Structure 1
């Protein structure tokens, strides 16, 4: 019995082993199609089908065909995954592939079906363009057409539009219209009419392709010279293309601050190839550059199936469209009417000049104008100049904190000598305002010697601390190019004396001097604001301006208008104005003077700066007065 049992067991074991071997053999003889589908998806995603076996093409031929089909999509790479593989039936199966192309703001997604066939114990794929996109037929390839995004607007106070798409005319030479020699001659003629370098433009046209449009210059539509318009009508080589560009109301409108938009530079493409490509439009300078990501928008795209139709052109079928997304709006505080008024007042000022207007209640910068003499430099918010006697506003606060009052008498002498350096008052200083005079009179008449005589009262950081309380001396990012002034420690007695009258180591921008008088007018620290989305708080350690200090300062600066160097503002209609004039020497052989004036009336604070002027009251004063009148 025992041998029989053992024999039966052995038979069962052998039978089981034979059965298991049969199953393995069956699997080896009939492999599953899943791996072939996975290899196909991987190869399509990577653009290399070397690991895929095809029924009717070599892997190299399929890879080449695939490359030609998708070449028109550019450098984008798809994500391809196996969504499903049908059960094999009679040596055939179908793999469903899920595609996703990152060609637009939203990816282009779809599925295709890949026929699989078991040949010689190996699953093979039948190649066709329909593997790439289900509707593609032989001879069709994919192509893309970009849809440019509309750049976002820049708005100002109350949501008024500052920068938006405005009509322009692009003038240039069309190489396809005439023979090369005629195009080059037309280029010379156009260059002379629009006042650009004729030789270099003609050379550019000569080197361009036979079908190229070579732009010479772009004008606002209303600014196209009549001679250029006639040339475009008469010469077949000269082309005037109607277009749109993001522009401010005028060419000069806050130009150094807003910046420009144009074709990206080679350097931009090199530094950020994932963001820019040759021919793209982007912000090149100013706020247009700093906030380009917000304003740029997102381009759209149309994906088409294109058939090469030979001489008759190309037949297209639209397969996918991702509409462009308009860029965001950049909100600023500029008031267009006040900005235009400021620029108009500076238009005829030959030296470099600037005007900044601030709303004290909010810190909003309503105007930041640069005159034509600045040659495109942003002096209004980023200039760095000695503020002269306008800085006596700061020195007055420091003296109040040192124990003086507006009635404290200080010596106003014709000259004062500090460590061998002789200081004096300005040439037409009123003789009746000398001697021991109240601090208020020293402020009103801007007595240099009186302030210098009090230098020792200020201590090491007295001026700096007072400046910070009025918004000056601590630079921090306001979201735009801004210089908030510098009040460095003096390196000598002479320098300390000069600092009290806004020279020495003291530097300021027109914006920060407008901030100083805005803080006095408001009775508390004002933080200038141009980009409301950038939240800026008062600098740490700034001692608040007390109500008594603000009242004393306003009273003394009111005296500048009623009895001092700012008397020209006395007849302004509306609320009482406060002001301070300033003149600062600079350079040598000859020594020249900056002309300053700051003032506040109601909820408006203004600083005017002229780089070379006679005096604050005579040069900057009339501009400031007219601006305040225009703002009413």
Structure 2
């Protein structure tokens, strides 16, 4: 696609240039010869170009055609800088612009066309230096490519979050093919679907004694095609270890596959045959960093020896780098163990002091789509946020509230389905701890809608935070009356992700809400904005007195939960959210967590996590 666009652009430029050139000179002049030669070269009308030289027509046509193949060029464009005439001799200075493809910069150089009169007509005096001033007889162009191996995604200590897997790179040594290059390309194209012209140009543009990677295969596809590949004379297989097999959290790290004709065309980036491409997760989001860009040299070669004669241009490319995450292997292992016994659960762990994500584990759910970006009802887990607004409004943790089985607030009906029985009475703190929705909903009249919204924003709900992967920052509805406020306090009209709720727990634990962080280096997935990190909202400091009260209430919540009552210094609440969904939001030490489970007790997953964490290395 990119090559086609550039070629089209060149054609349009050519049409304009021809019109301009026609009016630049008055006859008699070497204008027609200069124009026709460069136009013919640019448009691949090599008969036109050769007819304007004094050289053997077949030799000139072949030299121009070979130059395009040897450079693997998508297009040539030219601009005449000046034309001077001295009797029967003339000289035209021109600027050449060669699109080498593969996302390399344009190669620009200055050339000279010497002309002289032959039987009254101006002719370009032919020699290889017409193509480039440094090209001599017995030499040709070549493009020397130096791809860098894929870099890993690493954890917070720099250890790779994937293991090496063997990819099989099929390629050739051009010097060993002789005149069989076209036959090899036809056969390879038949079994891989790579375009013949692309494969052939890669071979012909490369130094003859250098291995030229053409197609990369994963293990399964290589084994399926191995016999056919072995039957192609000249094809060599280079097994390469590449860091592509993801460790936990596998869906966050992401998968990698060999480059295919379809993905090569779709990406349009620095990838070329022999590379691997990220299909999901961080491997996909940071593909251009992990692969970098190709180091490229335009050189001249001696036709007899195949050795490099001169380096005409070099691009070092962008160095590929590792992607450093905030993930912690030991925390991840504990999280994986905690969700293992459940049927459907999601567990997110963040550092309370920074918002850095330490682990993401799921069972029957997707780590990115559900744990980071899932849109779930907050249920009574949202009472943490609502309590912030209620405490600021003057509601005391000791205020007595009844917990009936049912209650109507402003016309909205609420039914208590908590773990403890209904029709009881207790303090605000006790009803918060056991998640009595009917008691909490009754407080709607004690708080303003705008205060609930402000508390939601303070805890990051609906704030414009984001990650390099898909994520959901929550949504908070407009509140018109007591019924709307009661539904919000009960979390029935609020949507959140497990990540968002882990950040809520972290905010109470530390006293400051922090936006989430998953990757610390590079600052942005887009290399063009390498020095501009993802824009995140500022941290929000909680009211100190309110936070102290919330901490006490969440300690009571943990103590009232059988799965956590014996755990040391665990804080949190267990909540229901309808549709057999349960939440646990809380913390222990520096780690805040959110667990969302279906048909399973979320607090049991939390208890398993904290227990596993104590016994982990």
TM-score (norm 2): 0.71
Is 1:242–2:239 an aligned residue pair? yes
Residue 519 and residue 46 in structure 1: after superposition, are their counterparts in 2 closer, same or farther (change >3 A)?
same
Q: Which residue matches 1:24?
A: none
Residue 266 and residue 406 in structure 1: after superposition, are their counterparts in 2 closer, same or farther (change >3 A)?
farther
Which of 483, 495, 519 is 1:531 aligned to?
519
Kept in 2, the 8 Å contact 1:298–1:325? The answer is yes
Q: Which residue matches 2:556?
A: 559
Q: Which residue matches 1:600?
A: 587
Kept in 1, the 8 Å contact 2:246–2:253? The answer is no
Q: Which residue matches 2:429?
A: 440
Q: Which residue matches 1:611?
A: 598
SS at match of 2:564: helix
1:423, distance to aligned residue in structure 2 (A): 0.9
In structure 2, C-alpha distance between the alignment counterparts of 1:46 and 1:149, rounded to whole Å: 34
1:536, distance to aligned residue in structure 2 (A): 3.9
Q: Which residue matches 2:575?
A: 582
SS at match of 2:508: helix
Kept in 2, the 8 Å contact 1:566–1:581? The answer is no
Equivalent runs, 1:155-166 vs 2, <5 Å: 155-158=154-157, 160-163=158-161
Residue 142 and residue 82 in structure 1: after superposition, are their counterparts in 2 closer, same or farther (change >3 A)?
same
Q: Which residue matches 2:67?
A: 69
Equivalent runs, 1:371-520 vs 2, <5 Å: 371=363, 373-374=364-365, 378-417=369-408, 419=411, 421=413, 423-426=415-418, 428-429=419-420, 435-489=424-478, 497-502=486-491, 504-520=492-508
Q: How many residues align?
A: 537
Residue 388 and residue 341 in structure 1: after superposition, are their counterparts in 2 closer, same or farther (change >3 A)?
same
Is 1:218–2:232 an aligned residue pair? no
Q: Which residue matches 1:625?
A: 610
In structure 2, C-alpha distance between the alignment counterparts of 1:361 and 1:621, rounded to whole Å: 20
Kept in 1, the 8 Å contact 2:270–2:288? The answer is no
1:512, distance to aligned residue in structure 2 (A): 0.8
Residue 578 and residue 343 in structure 1: after superposition, are their counterparts in 2 closer, same or farther (change >3 A)?
same
Moved more, 514-523 or 330-339: 330-339
1:438, distance to aligned residue in structure 2 (A): 1.8
Residue 566 and residue 46 in structure 1: after superposition, are their counterparts in 2 closer, same or farther (change >3 A)?
farther
1:139, distance to aligned residue in structure 2 (A): 7.7
1:515, distance to aligned residue in structure 2 (A): 0.5
Kept in 2, the 8 Å contact 1:478–1:536? The answer is no
Deviation per residue, 1:250-290 (Å, 9 max, x gap): 63423322333335566666666577778864333333333
Is 1:297–2:286 an aligned residue pair? no
In structure 1, C-alpha distance between the alignment counterparts of 2:342 and 2:565, rounded to whole Å: 24
Equivalent runs, 1:45-64 vs 2, <5 Å: 47-48=44-45, 50=48, 53-57=52-56, 62-63=60-61
1:546, distance to aligned residue in structure 2 (A): 1.0
Residue 111 and residue 398 in structure 1: after superposition, are their counterparts in 2 closer, same or farther (change >3 A)?
closer
Q: Which residue matches 1:361?
A: 353
In structure 2, C-alpha distance between the alignment counterparts of 1:335 and 1:483, rounded to whole Å: 22
Gapped regions of structure 1 (runs ≥ 5): 1-27, 175-203, 587-592
Deviation per residue, 1:561-608 (Å, 9 max, x gap): 3x4126625443xxx33211123221xxxxxx2232122223221112
Deviation per residue, 1:107-154 (Å, 9 max, x gap): 667666655333234432232334224565678654445432334443
Deviation per residue, 1:188-247 (Å, 9 max, x gap): xxxxxxxxxxxxxxxx9799999999987438xxxx9xxx99x999x989x996223343
In structure 2, C-alpha distance between the alignment counterparts of 1:108 and 1:338, rounded to whole Å: 50
Kept in 1, the 8 Å contact 2:73–2:98? The answer is no
1:557, distance to aligned residue in structure 2 (A): 0.8
Gapped regions of structure 2 (runs ≥ 5): 1-25, 172-189, 200-212, 524-532
Equivalent runs, 1:324-339 vs 2, <5 Å: 325-339=318-332
Q: Which residue matches 2:253?
A: 258
Q: Which residue matches 2:177?
A: none
SS at match of 2:547: helix
Kept in 2, the 8 Å contact 1:72–1:142? The answer is yes
Residue 617 and residue 119 in structure 1: after superposition, are their counterparts in 2 closer, same or farther (change >3 A)?
closer
Residue 485 and residue 96 in structure 1: after superposition, are their counterparts in 2 closer, same or farther (change >3 A)?
closer
Is 1:286–2:281 an aligned residue pair? yes
In structure 2, C-alpha distance between the alignment counterparts of 1:122 and 1:74, rounded to whole Å: 34
1:549, distance to aligned residue in structure 2 (A): 0.9
Deviation per residue, 1:317-361 (Å, 9 max, x gap): 565465554324433322233234323433x34523222111122
SS at match of 1:327: coil
Kept in 2, the 8 Å contact 1:143–1:303? The answer is yes
Q: Which residue matches 2:187?
A: none
In structure 1, C-alpha distance between the alignment counterparts of 2:216 and 2:116, rounded to whole Å: 57
RMSD: 4.7
SS at match of 2:358: strand
Q: Which residue matches 1:168?
A: 165
Residue 468 and residue 81 in structure 1: after superposition, are their counterparts in 2 closer, same or farther (change >3 A)?
closer
Kept in 2, the 8 Å contact 1:257–1:287? The answer is yes
In structure 1, C-alpha distance between the alignment counterparts of 2:94 and 2:170, rounded to whole Å: 49
Which of 546, 557, 561 is 1:549 aligned to?
546
Q: Which residue matches 1:345?
A: 338
Q: Which residue matches 2:122?
A: 123
TM-score (norm 1): 0.70
Equivalent runs, 1:197-212 vs 2, <5 Å: none
Moved more, 602-611 or 552-561: 602-611
